Amino acid sequence: MVSKTDPKTPGRAASRRNFLKTGLLGGAAVAASAGMARAQGGDPLITEIQDWNRYLGDGVDAAPYGAPSEFEAQVVRRNVPWLTADPVSSINFTPLHELDGIITPNGLCFERHHGGVAIINPTEHRLMINGLVDTPLVFTMEDLKRFPRENRVYFLECAANTGMEWKGAQLNGCQFTHGMVHCVVYTGVPLRYLLEEAGVKTAGKWLLAEGADAAAMSRSIPMEKALDDCLVAFKMNGEALRPEQGYPLRLCVPGWEGNMWVKWLRRLEVGDQPWAQREETSKYTDLLADGKARRHTFVMDVKSVITSPSPQAPVTHGKGPLVISGIAWSGSGTIKRVDVTIDGGRNWHEARIDGPSLPKALHRFYLDINWDGSEMLLQSRAIDDQGLVQPTKNELRAARGGNSIYHNNGIQTWHVNTDGVVENVEVS
């Protein structure tokens, strides 16, 4: 069987070549090639019989667990090696610029580990509840799967998402500036069922969640939140958690910073005050301009970003209809509105939110425009159901300075030039 397609140069590379050609020669090149096709009797992709139309494809036994098309090989997580000392306590990024809708495919959900990916046989996993409880308990995974379950769609955003951009435009692509976020449907047991099973004593006001990995990651969580909407999850998007997402068990802390979503969850301790663990003192505290530092900054603020066009997703088709696509989210609830500007914030247009609008989940928005080929400064501005408006980066800096590291939800600007090339910029 002969293939006419070269697997080494799939989709993106091809579109980049087209883009460069279009960029060099402009719309005239497109018109000319279309004209040539007509002169020769039509597009050979139509007038000539293609291999996939003649030869048989793979049988149903070829891929017991399917993978994306080879032409989507560019849709992968990426890391930025210089960000961290080594790749084991590090971060990678969801390819937001290639995705649509609100659900992140499991294999593309960004990863953040502090001691690498723990590999745990679920039959050997245990969850302990101890501390200020009537009865300290141990659960097996089999036990946990006998509790009533809930399915919920939530975003999980790293507190450090967009953190490299506090001092200015640094990384060129929304995968890198905003890709420490993913959104899946979690299946799990409400945390309150487990706590009720152990019996929380009246003095129990805080919960320590701890992982089974080599970092034994641990965070203090107010009991009010633990009893509200937290889940102990074992499935994401219908299948078991991926190892890098905490298989076999993780905590979901909806709307709150990703660090608290303890993976490989092995222990929950009830106490009467927070524990001041490393991840809530040295890390995940937000230094302000006056030398003070905020702690317990749990909620992820109202935020949005345009995912296309963006530096990794340039405009390759020239003037005319253009879909501006993006995501918006808030740790406080649903997104009520997203505004988009194409002139750097002078004038705004209400975008169209399409798809489910669920609390503490990603929302997808679109603004369909007719691009006249002139330069654009694209921004999006989200407003949540609490009335909170996404601030500009300059407003955030005025309030906090440039060294907070975490919780940068400032408005992102993309500069689109006349060739359709897009760059991460900041504007006056």
Least Å distance, CB 55 to other proteins, is: 28
Decide if 301 contacts 330 (C-beta within 8 A). Answer: yes
Would you say 185 or 388 has its CB closer to other proteins?
388
Cα(416)–Cα(410) distance, rounded to whole angstroms?
19
Work out whether 403 is an interface residue with other proteins (CB under 8 A).
yes
Would you say 319 or 348 has its CB closer to other proteins?
348
Give 189-246 as a DSSP string.
EEHHHHHHHH-B-TT--EEEEEESSTT--EEEEEHHHHHHT-EEEEEETTEEPPGGGT
Q: In this chain, which of 7, 291, 321, 370 binds other proteins, going by CB under 8 A?
A: 291
Span interacting with other proteins, options 61-69, 179-187, 289-297, 359-367, rule CB under 8 A: 289-297
Q: Which residues in 331-390 contact other proteins (CB under 8 A)?
A: 339, 343-348, 377, 381, 383, 387-389
Q: In this chain, which of 26, 87, 105, 115 binds other proteins, going by CB under 8 A?
A: 115
Q: In this chain, which of 37, 240, 369, 425 binds other proteins, going by CB under 8 A?
A: 425
Span interacting with other proteins, options 31-39, 208-216, 232-240, 357-365, rule CB under 8 A: 208-216
Least Å distance, CB 31 to other proteins, is: 26
Work out whether 128 is an interface residue with other proteins (CB under 8 A).
yes
Q: Which residues in 143-172 contact other proteins (CB under 8 A)?
A: 143-144, 146-147, 168-172
- Peptide bond preceding 136 in cis form (omega within 30 of 0): no
User: Count of residues binding other proteins (CB under 8 A)?
Assistant: 108
Upper half-sphere CA count for residue 401 (Cβ side, 13 Å): 12
Work out whether 229 is an interface residue with other proteins (CB under 8 A).
no
Work out whether 12 is an interface residue with other proteins (CB under 8 A).
yes
Cα(75)–Cα(98) distance, rounded to whole angstroms?
6
Q: Which residues in 30-69 contact other proteins (CB under 8 A)?
A: none
**Cα–Cα nearest to 217, from 170, 251, 168, 256:** 251
* Length, in residues, of the chain: 428
Would you say 184 or 341 has its CB closer to other proteins?
341
Least Å distance, CB 129 to other proteins, is: 8
Least Å distance, CB 21 to other proteins, is: 16
Q: What's the Cα-to-Cα distance from 283 to each of 72, 142, 188, rounded to whole Å?
A: 36, 34, 28
SS3 168: coil
- Distance between terminal CA atoms of the chain? 58
What DSSP element (H or E) covers 39?
A: helix 27-39
Residue 236 token pair: 């994401």
Would you say 147 or 243 has its CB closer to other proteins?
147
Q: Which residues in 67-86 contact other proteins (CB under 8 A)?
A: 74, 78-82, 84-85
Work out whether 8 is an interface residue with other proteins (CB under 8 A).
no
**Using CB under 8 A as the criterion, what x/- string covers residues 231-270 for binding other proteins?**
-----------------------------------xx-x-
Asked whether the CA dihedral 275, 219, 131, 254 is positive or negative, the reply is positive
267: alpha, beta or left, given left = phi > 0 and alpha = psi -120 to 50?
beta
Asked whether the CA dihedral 134, 137, 141, 146 is positive or negative, the reply is negative
Work out whether 17 is an interface residue with other proteins (CB under 8 A).
no
The count of other CB atoms within 10 Å of the CB of residue 42 is: 11
Least Å distance, CB 58 to other proteins, is: 25
- Name the phi and psi angles at 125, rounded to 5: -90, 140
To 10 degrees, what angle do helices 11-25 and 27-39 make?
A: 110
Span interacting with other proteins, options 239-247, 316-324, 357-365, 402-410, rule CB under 8 A: 402-410
- In 256-391, the DSSP E strands lie at 265-271, 286-287, 293-294, 303-308, 320-329, 335-341, 349-350, 352-354, 363-371, 376-384
Q: In this chain, which of 149, 287, 354, 356 binds other proteins, going by CB under 8 A?
A: 287
Work out whether 7 is an interface residue with other proteins (CB under 8 A).
no
Q: Which residues in 295-324 contact other proteins (CB under 8 A)?
A: 295-299, 301, 311-314
Least Å distance, CB 173 to other proteins, is: 6
Q: In this chain, which of 25, 34, 203, 276 binds other proteins, going by CB under 8 A?
A: 276
